[in-house]
Structure formats: structure tokens, C-alpha cells
Amino acid sequence: MLDAASVTRAVDMLKKAKRITCMCHRNPDGDALGAMTGMAQLVEANIPNVSVTLACVDPVPPTFAYLPLGQRVLSELNPIEGDVFVFVDAAEPKLTEYHERFPQIFGGEWPTICIDHHPTNTNFATVNIVVPEASSTCEVIVDLADLAGWKLTPELATSLLTGVYTDTGGLLHSNTTPKVYRTVARLLRAGAAQRTIVTHVFRTAKLSTLRLWGRVLEKIGVTQEKGAISALTEEDFRATGADYSELTGAIDYVNAIPGMRFSLILSERGGKVKGSLRTLRDDVDVSKMAATFQGGGHKKAAGFAVAGKLVPEVRWKVEQGNN
């Protein structure tokens, strides 16, 4: 549930601001970008005479180029005292990758707001609006707008619907609650461009992406513990011409095999091995599995990254014939 007192504090903070920066995590997904551009539009539409900046260390992927204000996302920051920062979908400062260069915005002395749905959120901001039962940060922002009495324009509804769709895998993941459908209905009524989102996010795939996914599927192995595991080396990315971000979404296919306890894709990325974990089962908590590798996430979707590389392990056995 959204805490009304926190929303009031956040709105007061925003109303007093001269400059506001909306910031999301590195390697931004649809929820991070939808929430950042949605929040920026909300602020611009409802708070007069404020200058709004959008910041992310990584560029907006081409998939999300249709998002309003997407062209205004900057990687360079120039914070001055008195600025208000709104962090979206970022569970902790290091996920923004600005924490080392600009520690002053994460220390609690500067007025900051964090809007998120990750249960692992460290509540690092001055005002923390963290709703773990929400499907997405965008869902939290819709409630915030309603509580604040802020109107939704069609363009900002498109931003917010993007996050609800991507974080629920197109309303298919287990976090798709009745509340999610009400939020979607609310955003469609506000004029969200549903066809644009579906076409760009779910019905467009580059040839390199399909070739990469082909490798993921081809290499699936099933372990004794009923884990469906696939692994991609740097060579797989090179040979298919795909970049790391193109792996997003492939895990849902690995997770489709009946009877598995969990699924995992390991991928090599410049000296690191990244793991993406999923489960369909209620009695398996993949965030705990991720935590053993210093990772985190949700019960049914989690991830980790460790320094190292992938080494294939081949097992052979002799089967005796009759001749």
C-alpha cells in the first residue's frame, strides 16, 4: 500500500524545488525508463516553473525510443545544492552508478525521493515510497499521481503503461494482480498508446537477437536438481553480433520447460558472469539463490553478477557394448 504521508512529503518537496532530476538505474529497462519519463512529465505538467532533468548512465535502448522525453535523457550530471532528486526503480545508490562521483546526493543531506517496488530497497532517500507488492515502479507512480490529484496525459500514460507491461512480461508474470489490470485500465482510459508499446516492446526483434536466443535454447541443459540452465560465452555474443542487452526476455523460454524447479541463464560479460534466475514454483525462492552470489531480486525473478568467466564442464561415461 502507498503511504499517504510519504506522498504528501514528496509532493511538498517537489513543489518547493527549482530544479528536479529524475534518475533511474544503469542498464535501464522498460520500468526504469517508463517511470523516469513518466515522473518527469508528471512534474512538468503539475509544478509550474520547475526545470526537470532526466539522468541515466546508460543510453535509452532503441526499443524504447518511442518514449516521450526519451531524447532528453542525459548521462552527464551537474548537481547543485537545493536540487531535488527523484530516484525510480533503483533499490540502492550503486545501481545508478552515480554514487561514487556524486555521494552528496545519496547521503541523506540533500532532499531526495525514491520511488520503487523492489523488496531489497535500502530506503536511502529522504522520502522513500517503496511498495514491494506493486508490479512495477510505474504502478506506484500511477497511485502517487492519483493521491496527489495530478492528471494523467496520454503521453505520460504511455510511459507508465510501458513499465507495467514490461515488468509483468505483458501481463503474464505472477505479479499480474487484479490491481495491475485496474492500473492498465486507468492508463488506457488516460490515452496510453497501447499498440505502440506492444509493437515496439513485444513484436520487434532484431536478427542478432533471434540468433542469440537460438544459442540460448540450443544449449539448455537440465540438472539433477531440476534446474534448466543455459550459458552464453563472449564468443556467442561475438558470433551472433548481439549485445548483452539483447539477452533480455530469453529466460522466459528457458523457464517454460515443464517440471523444472528453476531456470538460469549464465552469460559472460567483460570479466563478469551474470546470472538470471526464474521459477514458476511457489516453493522455490530464487532471490535466496541469487543472494548466495551477492545478488538479489524477487522470489520468482532474481539475478546476480560475479567476477570471473565461464568454464565448460564436460562429463563422459563409458557404455559397454556387446561386441
C-alpha cell at 42: 508528471
Long-range contacts of the stretch 44-49 (C-beta < 8 A, 24+): 45/150, 45/151, 45/153, 45/156, 46/148, 46/150, 46/151, 47/14, 47/15, 47/17, 47/20, 49/18
- Taking the complex as a whole, the smallest distance from the CB of residue 167 to Mn ion amounts, in Å, to 5
Contacting Mn ion within 221-260 (CB under 5 A): none
| Closer Cβ to Mn ion, 94 or 261, answer by number | 94
Residue selected from 155, 167, 236, 246 as contacting Mn ion according to rule CB under 5 A: 167
Closest distance to Mn ion from the beta carbon of 134 (Å): 9
Task: Give the residue, chosen from 21, 64, 89, 153, that forms a contact with Mn ion under the rule CB under 5 A.
Answer: 89
Question: Which stretch in 28-36, 217-225, 229-237, 258-266 sits in contact with Mn ion by CB under 5 A?
Answer: 28-36
Q: Which one of the spans 76-84, 128-136, 217-225, 236-244 is the region binding Mn ion (CB under 5 A)? A: 128-136
Residue burial 125-164, b: 16+ Cβ < 10 Å; e: rest: bbbbbbbeebbbbbbbbbbbbebbebebbebbbbbbbbbb
CA 59 distance to own-chain centroid: 14
Burial class (CB in 10 A: 0-12, 13-18, 19+), 301: buried
Question: By CB under 5 A, which span of 18-26, 165-173, 215-223, 283-291 interacts with Mn ion?
Answer: 165-173
Give residue number: closest CB to Mn ion: 31
Q: DSSP letters of 199-229?
A: IIIIS---HHHHHHHHHHHHT-EE-TTSEEE
CB of 271 to Mn ion, least distance (A): 27
Name the one range near Mn ion by CB under 5 A: 136-144, 188-196, 198-206, 234-242: 136-144
Is 139 a residue that touches Mn ion (CB under 5 A)?
no
**Total residues belonging to the chain:** 323
Number of residues binding to Mn ion, judged by CB under 5 A: 5
Q: Are the beta carbons of 302 and 287 closer than 8 angstroms?
A: yes
For the bound state, the minimum distance from the C-beta of residue 129 to Mn ion, rounded and expressed in Å, comes to 14
Nearest approach, Cβ of 135 to Mn ion (angstroms)?
Answer: 8
Q: How far is the CB of 55 from Mn ion (least distance, A)?
A: 17
The answer to whether 31 contacts Mn ion (rule: CB under 5 A) is yes
Q: Which of residues 137 and 153 has its CB atom nearest to Mn ion in the complex?
A: 137
CB nearer to Mn ion: give 91 or 190.
91
**Residue 137 Cβ vs Mn ion, minimum distance, rounded to whole Å:** 5
Nearer to Mn ion by Cβ, of 31 and 143: the residue is: 31
Smallest distance from Mn ion to CB 35, Å: 7
User: With contact defined as beta carbons under 8 Å apart, do 273 and 309 qualify?
Assistant: yes
How far apart (Å, rounded) are the C-alpha atoms in residues 120 and 1?
Answer: 16
Residue type, 184: V
Decide whether 83 or 92 has the Cβ nearer to Mn ion: 92
* Residue 317 backbone phi and psi in degrees, to 5: -140, 155
Residues in touch with Mn ion (CB under 5 A): 31, 89, 136-137, 167
